[in-house]
Structure 1
Amino acid sequence: MAFGTATAGDPKWWPAWIRYTVLANLCWFVFMGNCYSSGITTGFEDMAIEFRVGFGSLTDIVSWSVFALGVSNFFWMPLAMCIGKRPVILISMVIFLAGLIWSVYAPTLDSLLGARILASFGAGSVESLGPSMIADLFLERYFATAMALFALFLSGGSQIGPVIAGYLIADQGWRWFFKLCAILNAANLFFCLFFLPETSYRRPYVYSGETAAEADKEAIEMHEYKHGKNMGDGLATVPTGTAPGVPYAGSYWKDLVAFRNRGQEETGLRSFPKQLTLPWRFLVVPGAVYAVMSYGIMLGGIVIISSQIPQLFAPPPYLFDSKAIGLFTLASFIGVIVAYPLAGPMTDLLSRTLTRRNSNIHKPEHRIPALILPFLLCPWGLILYAYTVSEAKPYYAAAVGFAVQAAGLCFVPSVVLSYVVDAYPTEGGEALVLINAGKNLVAFGVTKGNAQWLASQGLKKMYGEMAAIQWAVLLLGLPLYFLGPWLRAKTQRFV
């Protein structure tokens, strides 16, 4: 089999400008999907008047959007394995755009709900394909840094979306928020047509190593063999940009319009039924299940706060209008921005440090201790937020709590996603399907029940229980750190 069967050369050795342009387009796409999903919460007051419904009914357009973002992964990733990741990204962006246009002109709440489910189904593709393509493009030692940037844009969409929506809704009405999303998504689609080549690559050898670090060593050895270029001792001498200045192996522009035989599966769509079943095998893999739980429960905390802000801050004593609600949500994005320099780079640095202390033997579990920081900080954000609002204290204290909780959306994904991709380099895409679908289903369940939860428990007790759940889930990372290699060995036959 030729070295570049599925695409023009191993993406890990593409020129830096191609790899970073692909990363930028993926970040833009995931930002827009989450901006659209969560941003409309600032318009709930205006929408309640127009549609003559209560806030409880309006939360459905958020919860079902989160649901569609998640379950769509079970469709998009198997399809990408059959026909390629580039065509799936482009198709899903067109569906997202169609849903956005429908949202602009939806005459009823039920119609808007249908539009948001369709749009979110399209936008959900990038939540699993994005990390999978990042794994295609970057060597193991830079996984967490690249994925933290992706997580920054993912969470940034959820936090900046309400700010943008707040000002647009106050000046132009809530439909203009959807118009802006449609314009920005159309621009993203245009750039992806020209600057998002196929990253699927059928390697002419099978990984003998069980981790991505060992697989990368084989990729380097193959590169040295094909190009007669000595890159030194394994990964240690790979340049910071992760590519040794190799020109694109083929015609870039011809590669963009080549859509035949681009997936990992050589039989194409005939493999689609089999691909649909593959993510489910990770239900018996403790590392993947832990990633679902930890990512989902952190996302759930953010979704609960975001969906309840209009209900808690529009009435006295705060009397926030849509602009003020939007600005309040900006606090959470500040938390994400502060967390980013620590999240990805810290995880990568910690992994390299523990590898050196382990006689230069790398284990994916070396990333897990980075969860100590979100364990110590993030659940306290929920408690501070609930205490401040329930006691009618100054809103800036609640904003600090929101920011601390939101930091977990950068910390946790950068650790657990890079851990799974590191531990299962050849099956990482299938694991990411389960993780991204699962975490959205967890968030959906929490969001659907949050109105009844608040009514029955009260604000302080509800958020205290949520914080306790987060502590319990993050604490499970401790046994995974020590038992992870043994658990991976025991469950290897299932994957």
Structure 2
Amino acid sequence: MGMWILESRSMEHVPGTTRYFDDPERPQAATAETVGLKCDTSGAVPIILVPQPSDDPNDPLNWPLWKRDVIMLILCVVSIFATSLGPILAANTITMALIFSRKFTDIAILTGYFLLGVGVAGILCVPSARIWGKRHLFLLGTVIVIFSSAWGGASRSYNSLLWARIFQGVGTAPFEALVNAAVGDLYFVHERGKRMALTNLAVFGGAFFTPIVVGKITDTIGWSWTFYFVAIFTSACLPLVIFYVPETAYRRSAHLNIDLIASNASVRHSYPKSDDGHQLQTLNQQIGESEQAPLDPEAAQRRTVDINSSIPQRSFSQTLLPFNGRVSDESFWKLFLRPFPLFAHPAILWACLIQGSMIGWTVFIGIILAAIFIGPPLLWGEVNTGYAYTGAFLGAVIGFLIAGALADWSAKYMTRKNGGIYEPEFRIVLVIPQLIFGCAGLFLFGITADKLIDYSYIIPIVAFGLEVGGMVIGAVAASLYIVDAHRDIAVEAFTCILIFKNFFTCGLTWSAYDWLVKSGTLEVFMWISGIQVFICLLSIPMYVFGKRNRSFFHRHDILKITGLA
């Protein structure tokens, strides 16, 4: 048992467990299991590339790191605009209720319909992304966000705005469902931590900047422009998506997925060619050369062999096509149904709870915050109410910084302590700061939000920031664990998370305000806080038994049992 993770009793090598580091001064540690594997030798200690890149120049793992980062940055920017549509009515709830002569709950439900659109469309993203890749969905999602945002701004009736909100959710779905999965397409395990933190900040945290500016925009030029600006800025991003976001899905030979194979013997291949931009060598080269010369990054780069030139690289015009052929021969309807039985998978259910519950509480607070600050005793207007979301935005940014700093560092530290063997369960450690900050924020908000006469209004704002920071950290932990432990079903797993969090949150929007009025803020948030503490504590058995869980579900594949493999 390494680092309190129980070993499998049935398998010698469990998919997801990989050798992460190898020290050239101790070559004997790499001889039996990892000889011939490509490594990144740009650092002091070589890092084995997981998964192994192919010799195909069209393999995204062979693209220069700057190109992969540009792709991810563009997707993050569009994701911010798309997901900003979720809380776009938060600071305007009372104003919109007066404009459309509707109840507070009716306006809150408009956010629920947005989430419903995300959830339903997200289910359809899975088979489409699996069969034809992700590019066409990113293109389609961007276009839908543009026209539905313009539609929302032009709406002059409640029903028209309701349908615009549904389509806005449909356009947002590809970004919520697939951006995190694209991290697994574009990056090796040791590169994912900071990038996954960035994508989660974009998808879940960037939206909290929206209410800050929405109140001021509404007060100055009208509520319609909150939607028009999303349409304008997303339109500016559309050419970037068209020209600079090629297909990231790739048909990778099974023997290259050394994190997914279930036998040590399976990794004993020799891959003499290197990939691009990284300073790489195979381990057998390292072992032979490390005794002759010290590890020097420039020397390592000079020893790098070019990618196999016999495989033609796609032209720029070919990368502009929305489809580059099928990336899977599987049935559409089988893929459509695949996420549903995976809710019985403990790791995926854990990820749904860790990520989805905190997102639900975040939306819950976002909905009621306007009522708390616009009502007595503060009687704020929509501008100041919008500014109250500053705490949530700063919390998201701080959560991103904490997750980005800890994600890769903690994994590398624990891997060294574990003799160079990386276990995906090391990612679960990030739930600790979620428990500390997120649950503290929920408790503090519940205690102070309905006693603004006794407490400063700053305290619930700070509490909201703590809760959002915990949400972002938890989202990173769950996403990284799914990608590293179950990359072969990552798209389906992220769809399960998307379905759970959106339908769960949609339900909260229907009942949030009425629940609060009936039971009071303190009682409601004591229940919410207690539930969240329990969910975070589920990470302990997930960490301890996670490896056995991976082994069990590799041998008892739910998708094979249900005929959906």
TM-score when normalising by structure 1 = 0.91
Residue range with higher mean Cα deviation, 258-267 or 153-162: 258-267
1:400 maps to what in 2? Answer: 462
Q: Which residue of the other structure, out of 375, 397, 416, is the alignment partner of 1:337?
A: 397
User: Larger Cα Rg: Structure 1 or Structure 2?
Assistant: 2
CA contact (8 A) 1:344 1:415 kept: no
Instruction: Return the alpha-carbon distance in structure 1 between the equivalents of residues 202 and 549 of structure 2.
Output: 32
Q: Which amino acid aligns with 1:297?
A: S
Residue range with higher mean Cα deviation, 104-113 or 176-185: 104-113
Residues 1:477 and 2:539 aligned together: yes
Give the CA deviation at 1:333: 1.0
Q: Which residue of the other structure, out of 472, 480, 501, is the alignment partner of 1:410?
A: 472
Cα 1:218–1:13 change in 2 (3 A) is: farther
Deviations 1:208-255 (A, max 9, x none): 64559999x96996473689x952549x9999xxx9897897245123
CA contact (8 A) 2:243 2:320 kept: no
**Matched position secondary structure for 1:231:** strand
Residues 1:95 and 2:144 aligned together: yes
* Root-mean-square deviation (Å): 2.9
Give the CA deviation at 1:406: 0.6
CA contact (8 A) 2:443 2:526 kept: yes
1:138-287 correspondence to structure 2 within 5 Å: 138-206=187-255, 209-211=258-260, 222=271, 224=273, 231-233=281-283, 250-266=313-329, 271-287=331-347
1:17 maps to what in 2? Answer: 66
Give the CA deviation at 1:266: 4.0
Q: Which residue of the other structure, out of 316, 326, 330, is the alignment partner of 2:376?
A: 316
Cα 1:164–1:230 change in 2 (3 A) is: closer
Residues 1:462 and 2:524 aligned together: yes
Instruction: Return the alpha-carbon distance in structure 2 between the equivalents of residues 78 and 159 of structure 1.
Output: 31
**Matched position secondary structure for 1:427:** helix
Residue range with higher mean Cα deviation, 217-226 or 474-483: 217-226
Instruction: Return the alpha-carbon distance in structure 2 between the equivalents of residues 293 and 260 of structure 1.
Output: 34
Give the CA deviation at 1:103: 0.6
1:289-328 correspondence to structure 2 within 5 Å: 289-328=349-388
1:451 maps to what in 2? Answer: 513
- What number of residue pairs does the alignment pair up? 484
Q: Which residue of the other structure, out of 542, 555, 558, is the alignment partner of 1:494?
A: 558
Give the CA deviation at 1:8: 4.9
Residues 1:381 and 2:441 aligned together: yes
1:78 maps to what in 2? Answer: 127
Q: Which amino acid aligns with 1:432?
A: F
CA contact (8 A) 1:211 1:363 kept: no
Identity %: 25
Q: Which amino acid aligns with 1:323?
A: V
Residue range with higher mean Cα deviation, 302-311 or 275-284: 275-284
**Matched position secondary structure for 1:40:** coil
Deviations 1:284-307 (A, max 9, x none): 211111000111111011101110
Instruction: Return the alpha-carbon distance in structure 2 between the equivalents of residues 335 and 41 of structure 1.
Output: 17
Q: Which residue of the other structure, out of 502, 526, 531, is the alignment partner of 1:440?
A: 502
Instruction: Return the alpha-carbon distance in structure 2 between the equivalents of residues 470 and 65 of structure 1.
Output: 24
Instruction: Return the alpha-carbon distance in structure 2 between the equivalents of residues 226 and 459 of structure 1.
Output: 56
CA contact (8 A) 1:86 1:197 kept: yes
Deviations 1:9-54 (A, max 9, x none): 2212211222111111111122112211102221122211111112
Give the CA deviation at 1:66: 1.8
Residue range with higher mean Cα deviation, 287-296 or 16-25: 16-25
Deviations 1:63-115 (A, max 9, x none): 22122223321111211222221111101221222211211111211110111
Q: Which amino acid aligns with 1:473?
A: I
Instruction: Return the alpha-carbon distance in structure 1 between the equivalents of residues 228 and 262 of structure 2.
Output: 44
Instruction: Return the alpha-carbon distance in structure 1 between the equivalents of residues 501 and 91 of structure 2.
Output: 24
**Matched position secondary structure for 1:471:** helix
**Matched position secondary structure for 1:317:** coil
Q: Which amino acid aligns with 2:318?
A: D
Unaligned residue ranges in structure 1 (runs of 5+) = none
Q: Which amino acid aligns with 1:204?
A: S
Give the CA deviation at 1:347: 2.0
Q: Which amino acid aligns with 1:29?
A: V
| The structure with more helix, counted as a fraction of residues | 1
Residue range with higher mean Cα deviation, 348-357 or 118-127: 348-357
Instruction: Return the alpha-carbon distance in structure 2 between the equivalents of residues 258 and 62 of structure 1.
Output: 34
Instruction: Return the alpha-carbon distance in structure 2 between the equivalents of residues 138 and 220 of structure 1.
Output: 21
Give the CA deviation at 1:386: 2.4
CA contact (8 A) 1:231 1:238 kept: no
CA contact (8 A) 1:285 1:488 kept: no
Residues 1:348 and 2:408 aligned together: yes
Cα 1:224–1:277 change in 2 (3 A) is: same
Cα 1:62–1:212 change in 2 (3 A) is: farther
Residues 1:113 and 2:176 aligned together: no
Instruction: Return the alpha-carbon distance in structure 2 between the equivalents of residues 280 and 397 of structure 1.
Output: 41
CA contact (8 A) 1:140 1:213 kept: no
Unaligned residue ranges in structure 2 (runs of 5+) = 1-52, 287-294, 560-565
Instruction: Return the alpha-carbon distance in structure 1 between the equivalents of residues 550 and 191 of structure 2.
Output: 22
Deviations 1:368-418 (A, max 9, x none): 122111112211212212222211121111111011001022100111111
Cα 1:82–1:385 change in 2 (3 A) is: same
**Matched position secondary structure for 1:390:** coil
